[in-house]
């Protein structure tokens, strides 16, 4: 009987451990077909150093449940990319380790780069005639993987963005002084997460009044004009921007400042685009301006986890194991949207070679003509993904009780 | 029968509307003694412009309950400070408006500056022999009001800080590369909120390993030595700092950078101390460093509201009205801690003149000798204040349902 090993790679999300829970719990449930259930610590990089754990020992019994409420990456992560050439000695090295540990099933949870690892391992397995099953589980808050309706991790990050922006809008509205608040949201190439800020609106004409994604060219003068118009009707204007907004020439707005600002060590200042736009507005309009960078909480907030996202992540993990047991390999688990109202998805399988190193951006037709808002089609797409809140168990200290490797 | 009016002032908190709920619901319950229950929109400044609402119309029936779950300031706020001289014409102007609206009870919810307003109005009332009752309700995330065990708003902000730092620690621990994460927390003069980050620790020796408050002089070389020592034993070090840390000469660390950095408009760059320390560490140790500014979510996060804080804020509001009906005036409602285990408080009244324009900082004996940690006495003090989570009602869109002025 062969063993299963699972790893996590790339940046963490609120539900990457829910996917892990899905894989591990499903594998443990097939004790007739799967022997040991291993985790590689710090991804393929840690695996190469022999850093593995046995889930039956690490999280026995009910302790496994804790994964569903724990953000971050329980197994640790890495940014290691396998070499492009399948002739590289790392491949036989890896497969020898697989053989030593009697691995029959290799699962990797991650984004684009991780799917590249899945692709290479499955191609190498085919090349040498190994019957090892290699399966990818999607994960990214950026929602930029192709061939899947959305990605595990996006719904929770989107819920965090929408709820937090709604709170910031309240916070920004308490004074009667004209003000502009810039909220900088993660997403260097794809604006999905920034787009989710429109879900924060409570009524027609509510903040955030302006939303800018990397998918549309950001022109300073057009932006200032739009802010000016928004200020005519509203005392407090909230603007949401992706960290990766860029101008028509492709220059990132966050790089504008670097050309001038230096810290006292002589380094260029890496102020974000939010800070830059804050200064720009203060300079142009002479009004109160501030910027808020939502930062890492977008990907690690347990309290804002979307129940839909969490459940789907578990489902994707389970589905992957079931597919592996049917002999599927070189695939990534995908979500297929079957219906919007009522919202319903099923899991599917896609060839990982068609996914890795690709990027799915927000469709141009979902961005309104003036480049500062999203259409209703986006809202209809995104709304179901942020539904439901998760009751995170509290520890004796009254704070969220997470699980971690000792 | 006289009417009651209540206002909010200064920066918002997660529970300033819970205090408002306490005042309004209690006042409405005394319809035999109190006529109309008014709210002044945008504090005393809005009141001077005649901007008031009637709570029976604005939030009829069950709608009032929504205040308990809504961060920000429902009534709007202001930063207006009454003139020091009671001879100023604004005082008779205000009292004439009180008379016109038949105000018998004036409630103001706020921090130091708001208590200054309460002090002046009550002294002016005494001076002219007016029988108007003037009462202060405490509010500040900074916990820096004297003569009260703690302040409404602190517990929720502290819960936000502790939970979020715990999540950031998980996020910071996924890679096996040495790294330092600086978390910058609100508090320019008092370090209470930064101190609350120690509640994030899950076990002895857990992150955050270093915590720096404005109350202890921050010396760069000592700090670097402490970081170096922490890195010897830990791969990923999380450091929490108050925005207001300063060196032995009293210079704010966040002002170090300003002397050099300029943006392209020629303005000095206002980088926070977190950004400064991030650069300092990268420069000195050549390792991965990043900084996270927790920003406004500290004071407006509904999802992290502390149930204890919320309930006490309501209680303080109710208690103030009860005291006012007994004829008390010129007072601020305070919390008196009766027992730590089990945690129990009662409400008291303090002369507002002894509170306004004072500042309560973290006691020196609660800061450890090397200035980078808190003693168990602080934990025993703070732990009860962050207990319990609040189930914020969700709207039809699945996101927190808040109330707001139309």
Is the link from the previous residue into A342 a cis peptide, with omega within 30 of 0?
Answer: yes
In chain A, what residues touch B304 (CB-CB under 8 Å)?
303
Reported as type and span, the H/E element at residue A8 is strand A3-8
Nearest to A278 by CA among B267, B183, B253: B267
Model confidence, pTM: 0.96
Interface touch A402/B170, C-beta < 8 Å:
yes
Interface touch B171/A12, C-beta < 8 Å:
yes
Reported as type and span, the H/E element at residue A163 is helix A154-172
Check if B162 contacts A (Cβ < 8 Å).
yes
Cα separation, B278 vs A33, whole angstroms: 50
Cα separation, B375 vs B368, whole angstroms: 6
Q: Is the pLDDT of residue B26 over 80?
A: yes
- Phi/psi for A217 (5° steps) reads -60, 135
Check if A382 contacts B (Cβ < 8 Å).
no
Interface touch B163/A383, C-beta < 8 Å:
no
Q: Quick one: what percent of chain B has pLDDT higher than 70?
A: 96
Q: Quick one: what percent of chain B has pLDDT higher than 90?
A: 91
Six token digits for residue A109: 């949870």
Q: Is the pLDDT of residue A21 over 80?
A: yes
In this prediction, residue B255 has a pLDDT band, given cuts at 50, 70 and 90, of: confident
Check if A200 contacts B (Cβ < 8 Å).
yes
Q: Is the pLDDT of residue A44 over 60?
A: yes
Write the CB contacts of B249 (distance below 8 Å, at least 6 apart in sequence).
none
The tens digit of pLDDT for each residue in A343-355 reads: 999 999 999 999 9
Q: What is the pLDDT at residue B395?
A: 96
Q: What is the pLDDT at residue A261?
A: 53
In this prediction, residue A272 has a pLDDT band, given cuts at 50, 70 and 90, of: confident
Nearest to B351 by CA among B329, B336, B325: B329
Check if A357 contacts B (Cβ < 8 Å).
no
A301, A14 contact by CB (below 8 A): yes
Query: For the packed helices B154-172 and B307-325, what is the interaxial angle rounded to 10 degrees?
Result: 170
- Phi/psi for B102 (5° steps) reads 50, 45
Q: What is the pLDDT at residue A356?
A: 87
Measure in Å the smallest separation between the Cα of A329 and chain B Cα atoms.
27
Q: What is the pLDDT at residue B267?
A: 56
Interface touch B267/A283, C-beta < 8 Å:
yes
Interface touch B267/A261, C-beta < 8 Å:
no
Give the pLDDT mean for A46-60. 97
> Cα B287 to chain center, whole Å?
35
Q: Name the one residue in this structure whose structure tokens are 């799917």.
A: A115
Cα separation, A158 vs A187, whole angstroms: 12
Pick the more confident residue, B258 or B117: B117
With 0-12 / 13-18 / 19 or more C-beta atoms within 10 angstroms meaning exposed / middle / buried, residue A145 is buried
Three-class SS of residue A67?
Answer: helix
Side by side, which strands form the sheet with A288-293?
A210-212, A236-242, A179-185, A288-293
Q: Dihedral sign for Cα A57, A61, A63, A66, please.
A: positive
Measure in Å the smallest separation between the Cα of A328 and chain B Cα atoms.
30
Write the CB contacts of B19 (distance below 8 Å, at least 6 apart in sequence).
B109, B137, B139, B152, B313, B314, B316, B317
> Residue A31, Cβ neighbours under 10 Å: how many?
11
Q: Quick one: what percent of chain A has pLDDT higher than 90?
A: 91
Interface touch B70/A170, C-beta < 8 Å:
yes
Q: What is the pLDDT at residue A264?
A: 55
Cα separation, B156 vs B311, whole angstroms: 11
Give the pLDDT mean for A213-235. 97
| CA angle at B246 for the pair B241 and B250, rounded to the nearest 5° | 165
Measure in Å the smallest separation between the Cα of B61 and chain A Cα atoms.
21
- Quick one: closest CA in A to B163, which residue? A399
In chain A, what residues touch B302 (CB-CB under 8 Å)?
163, 167
Six token digits for residue A32: 């007739």
Q: What is the pLDDT at residue B198?
A: 98
> Cα B357 to chain center, whole Å?
15
Nearest to B138 by CA among B15, B220, B300: B15
Pick the more confident residue, A266 or A16: A16
Q: What is the pLDDT at residue A357?
A: 82
- Quick one: closest CA in B to A46, which residue? B176
Cα separation, A316 vs A15, whole angstroms: 11
Q: Name the one residue in this structure whose structure tokens are 């921050």.
A: B218
Check if A293 contacts B (Cβ < 8 Å).
yes
**Cα separations in angstroms, B200 against B157, B158, B230:** 13, 10, 17
**Cα separations in angstroms, A31 against A6, A314, A323:** 16, 19, 16
Q: What is the pLDDT at residue B264?
A: 55
Q: What is the pLDDT at residue B260?
A: 43
The tens digit of pLDDT for each residue in B379-389 reads: 999 999 999 99
- Phi/psi for B106 (5° steps) reads -115, 120
Interface touch B300/A170, C-beta < 8 Å:
yes
The tens digit of pLDDT for each residue in B65-123 reads: 999 999 999 999 998 899 999 999 999 999 999 999 999 999 999 999 999 999 999 99
Q: Is the pLDDT of residue B259 over 50?
A: no
Give the pLDDT mean for A247-262. 75
Beta strands in A163-275 (DSSP E): 179-185, 210-212, 236-242
In chain A, what residues touch B406 (CB-CB under 8 Å)?
none
Residue A142 is among the residues annotated as catalytic for this protein? yes
Q: What is the pLDDT at residue B262?
A: 56
Cα separation, A263 vs A268, whole angstroms: 6
Interface touch B383/A389, C-beta < 8 Å:
no
Interface touch B265/A257, C-beta < 8 Å:
no
SS3 of chain B: CCEEEEEECCCCECCHHHHHHHHHHHHHHCCCCCCCEEEECCHHHHHHCCCEEEHHHHCCHHHHHHHHHCCECCCCCCCCCCCCCCCCCHHHHHHHHHHHCCEEEEEEEECHHHHHHHHHHHHHHHHHCCCCEEEEEECCCCCCCCCCCCCCCHHHHHHHHHHHHHHHHHHHCCCCCCEEEEEEECCCCCCHHHHHHHHHCCCCCCCCCEEECCCCCCCHHHHHHHHHHHHHHCCEEEEEEECCCECCCCCEHHHCHHHCCECCCCCECCCCHHHHHHHHHHHHHCCEEEEEECCCHHHHCCCCCEHHHHHHHHHHHHHHHHHHHCCCCCEEEEEEEEEECCEEEEEEEEEHHHCCCCCCCCCHHHECCCCCCECHHHHHHHHHHHCCECCCCECCCCCECCCCCC
Give the pLDDT mean for B215-236. 97
Cα separation, A121 vs A108, whole angstroms: 11
How would you label B105-140 residue by residue, b for 16+ Cβ within 10 Å and e otherwise? bbbbbbbbbbbbbbbbbbbbbeeeebebbbbbbbbb
In this prediction, residue A36 has a pLDDT band, given cuts at 50, 70 and 90, of: very high
A46, A30 contact by CB (below 8 A): no
Six token digits for residue B250: 């009293």
Cα separation, B133 vs B122, whole angstroms: 7
Mean pLDDT of chain A: 95
Cα separation, A338 vs A360, whole angstroms: 20
The tens digit of pLDDT for each residue in B281-322 reads: 999 999 999 999 999 999 999 999 999 999 999 999 999 999
Measure in Å the smallest separation between the Cα of B192 and chain A Cα atoms.
18
Is the link from the previous residue into B342 a cis peptide, with omega within 30 of 0?
Answer: yes
Check if A66 contacts B (Cβ < 8 Å).
no
A365, A32 contact by CB (below 8 A): no
In this prediction, residue A256 has a pLDDT band, given cuts at 50, 70 and 90, of: confident
Q: What is the pLDDT at residue B369?
A: 81
Q: Is the pLDDT of residue B356 over 90?
A: no
Q: What is the pLDDT at residue A32?
A: 97
Q: Is the pLDDT of residue B270 over 60?
A: no
Give the pLDDT mean for B336-361. 95
In chain B, what residues touch A167 (CB-CB under 8 Å)?
71-72, 297, 300-302, 400
Which A positions 206-235 lie with beta carbon below 8 A of chain B?
A: none
Cα separation, A390 vs A351, whole angstroms: 32
In this prediction, residue B357 has a pLDDT band, given cuts at 50, 70 and 90, of: confident
Beta strands in A55-191 (DSSP E): 103-110, 133-138, 179-185
Q: Dihedral sign for Cα B80, B84, B87, B91, please.
A: positive
Interface touch B260/A257, C-beta < 8 Å:
no
Cα separation, A316 vs A139, whole angstroms: 10
B253, B275 contact by CB (below 8 A): no
Write the CB contacts of A43 (distance below 8 Å, at least 6 apart in sequence).
A7, A8, A9, A75, A76, A77, A78, A80, A108, A110
- Catalytic residue (choose from A88, A131, A142, A341): A142
How would you label B56-82 residue by residue, b for 16+ Cβ within 10 Å and e otherwise? eebbeeeebebbbbbbbbbbbbbebeb
Cα separation, B383 vs A399, whole angstroms: 10
Nearest to B154 by CA among B345, B338, B401: B345
Give the pLDDT mean for B369-373. 92
Is the link from the previous residue into A197 a cis peptide, with omega within 30 of 0?
Answer: no
Beta strands in A309-387 (DSSP E): 331-340, 343-351
In chain A, what residues touch B293 (CB-CB under 8 Å)?
293, 295
Cα separation, B401 vs A402, whole angstroms: 27
Write the CB contacts of A384 (distance below 8 Å, at least 6 apart in sequence).
A308, A340, A343
| CA angle at B297 for the pair A168 and A200, rounded to the nearest 5° | 35
Pick the more confident residue, A369 or B31: B31
- Phi/psi for B158 (5° steps) reads -65, -40
Q: Which residues on neighbouring strands pair with residue A400, listed in sequence order?
A: A394
């Amino acid at each position: 009987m062969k063993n299963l090993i699972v790893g996590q790679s790339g940046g963490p999300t609120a539900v990457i451990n829910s996917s892990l829970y899905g894989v591990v719990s499903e594998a443990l449930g097939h004790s007739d077909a799967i022997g040991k259930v291993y985790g590689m610590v710090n991804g393929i990089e840690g695996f190469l150093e022999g850093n593995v754990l046995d889930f039956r020992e690490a999280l026995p019994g009910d302790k496994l449940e804790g994964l569903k409420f724990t953000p971050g990456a329980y197994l640790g992560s890495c940014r290691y990319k396998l070499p492009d050439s399948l002739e590289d000695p790392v491949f036989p090295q890896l497969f020898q380790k697989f053989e030593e540990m009697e691995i029959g099933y290799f699962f990797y949870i991650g984004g684009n780069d991780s799917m590249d690892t899945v692709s290479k391992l499955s191609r190498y397995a085919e090349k040498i005639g190994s019957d090892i099953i290699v399966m990818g589980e999607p994960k990214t808050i950026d929602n930029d993987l192709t061939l899947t309706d959305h990605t595990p991790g996006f719904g929770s990050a989107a819920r965090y963005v929408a709820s937090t922006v709604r709170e910031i809008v309240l916070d920004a509205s308490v004074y009667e002084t004209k003000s502009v608040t810039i909220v900088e949201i993660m997403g260097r190439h794809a604006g999905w997460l920034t787009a989710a800020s429109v879900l924060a609106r409570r009524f027609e004409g509510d903040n955030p009044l302006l939303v800018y994604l990397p998918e549309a060219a950001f022109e300073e003068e057009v932006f200032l004009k739009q802010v000016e118009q928004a200020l005519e009707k509203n005392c407090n204007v909230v603007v949401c921007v992706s960290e990766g907004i860029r101008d028509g020439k492709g220059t990132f707005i966050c790089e504008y400042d670097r050309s001038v600002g230096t810290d006292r060590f002589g380094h260029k200042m890496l102020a974000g685009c939010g800070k830059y736009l804050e200064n720009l507005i203060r300079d142009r309009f002479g009004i109160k301006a501030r910027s808020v960078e939502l930062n890492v909480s977008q990907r690690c907030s347990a309290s804002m986890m979307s129940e839909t996202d969490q459940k789907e992540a578990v489902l994707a993990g389970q589905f992957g194991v079931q597919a592996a047991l049917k002999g599927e390999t070189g695939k990534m688990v995908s979500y297929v949207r079957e219906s919007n109202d009522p919202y319903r998805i099923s899991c599917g399988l896609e060839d990982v070679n068609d996914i890795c190193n690709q990027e799915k951006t927000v469709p141009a037709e979902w961005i309104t003509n003036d480049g500062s808002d999203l259409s209703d089609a986006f809202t209809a797409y995104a709304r179901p993904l942020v539904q439901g809140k998760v009751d995170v168990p509290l520890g004796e200290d009254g704070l969220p009780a997470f699980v971690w490797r000792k």
